[in-house]
Amino acid sequence: LFVKKNRVLIWANEVWGALRGLETFSQIVWKGQDDRLYVKETVISDYPRFQHRGILVDTSRHFLFKEVIFDIIDAMEANKMNVMHWHIVDDQSFPYKSKVYPDLSKKGAFHPEFVYSLEDITEIIHYARFRGVRIMPEFDSPGHTYSWGLSQPELLTQCYQGSNPVKGYFGPIDPSKNATYTFLKNLFDEILTVFQDTYIHLGGDEVPLQCWSSNPDVTNFGIDLSKKAIIYNFRLMKDLRSIGKKRKDGVKFVMWQEVMNNDLQLPNDTLIQIWMGDVMDINRAINLGYNVLYSTCWYLDHVEYGTKWPKYYQCDPADNSMTVDEKKILGGEACLWSEYVDNENYMTTLWPRASATAERLWSHKDVRDLDSAAIRLQEHRCRMLK
């Protein structure tokens, strides 16, 4: 970025770099007492340290209006963050309005109006793209799928007590039925048509095994119980790879770290998202050949009091990672799960704390002074409020 008298010039390798340069320029302009805009002559050479600088947005625990999502994306642009990880469905609700299986949202959403149509999603994707933000969807399974079963009860595992099924009590998706994979293939065929990002997050975390272990069909599936999640994810990814062949760039996967911990052999281009571990988990993923996203220290939904942004600012996914291959750490995400936030307080809970994460993921690893950061973040908060 070159700012000279009567001239501003931005050099960038791609349009996304030009967008970041424009954002930098907007942040060094100030209004004088005479209401005129001023900027000092300067030269700024800048680039991101990590390529994946994300925010996880959860629209299942509380539905977020489209306008709030637009506000989140605008703030991400202002903070040079480039991936909105959209955790769109979960146990609590299924607001994705599928045309292939319309009952998923009719019976699984909180309310008929609390849904995202395919047109809504396309509008959000286009809005984000013009601001340099990718939309990476997450459809978490086989756990976290209670809302799926409200319209597709045969999809979930019937839980048993002894030899008797427990009426109305279901567990994770049933991995023993061929119909399960037919359903998933049809659903994800649509999802991969709507969401065009190369990556899709398949979840895979917190799979409760008790129900599987009680169900005779699942226990007779022919493999050890601990391996059933492996078989499920393997078949799902195989089908999605097949669907992805219709796309120019194919499809790649992001998984929560439990899938790696279960010893599933994943494609080498899979991203492992670390959310409850640290150095050892990062190293294990890298040593197994995977790239890594880091989120452990950036769970913004944790209720805290006082000034906590320094904790987020000082967290670094590559600190003490005991590996020279920092390039395998593609970046990280600040995660705001929505159990305790909704349309009224989502933005104020997310920002400006996520700005501390944004600077850590963008700036050089030696940029760490808290006093200097405090001044910048205070000014940046006022800038975002305007």
- Spell out the domain ranges in the chain: 1-47, 49-385
- 49-385: CATH topology is TIM Barrel (3.20.20)
Instruction: Flag the least confident range among 88-102, 139-153, 267-281.
Output: 267-281
Predicted TM-score (pTM) of the model is: 0.95
- Distance CA(221)–CA(122), nearest Å, equals 40
Asked whether 267 and 237 are in contact (CB, 8 A), the reply is yes
Mean pLDDT of 114-138: 98
What lies within 8 Å, CB to CB, of 266 at 6+ separation is 237, 253, 255, 259, 260, 272, 290
What's the pLDDT score for residue 148?
98
Q: What is the 3-state secondary structure (H, E, C) of the chain?
A: CEEECCEEECCCCCHHHHHHHHHHHHHHCEECCCCCEECCCEECCCCCCCCEEEEEEECCCCCCCHHHHHHHHHHHHHCCCCEEEEECCCCCCCCECCCCCCHHHHHHCCCCCCCECHHHHHHHHHHHHCCCCEEEEECCCCCCCHHHHCCCHHHEEEEEECCEEEEEEEEEECCCCHHHHHHHHHHHHHHHHHCCCCEEECCCCCCCCHHHHHCHHHHCCCCCHHHHHHHHHHHHHHHHHHHHCCCCCCCEEEEEHHHHHCCCCCCCCCEEEECCCCHHHHHHHHHCCCEEEECCCCECCCCCCCCCHHHHHHCCCCCCCCCCCHHHEEEEEEEECCCCCCCCCHHHHHCCHHHHHHHHHHCCCCCCCHHHHHHHHHHHHHHHHC
- Distance CA(124)–CA(134), nearest Å, equals 10
Q: List, for residues 217-251, the tens digit of each pLDDT value.
A: 888 875 666 567 777 888 899 999 999 998 888 99
Confidence of residue 264 (pLDDT cuts 50, 70, 90): confident
Mean pLDDT of 94-119: 98
Q: Does 67 qualify as catalytic in the annotation?
A: no
Q: List, for residues 24-36, the tens digit of each pLDDT value.
A: 999 999 989 999 9
Out of 119, 206, 339, 344, the active site residue is 206
Cis peptide before 352 (omega within 30 of 0): yes
Confidence of residue 306 (pLDDT cuts 50, 70, 90): low
Q: Which of 266, 296, 264, 267 is nearest to 280 (CA)?
A: 296
Confidence of residue 324 (pLDDT cuts 50, 70, 90): low
Mean pLDDT of 116-129: 98
Confidence of residue 334 (pLDDT cuts 50, 70, 90): very high
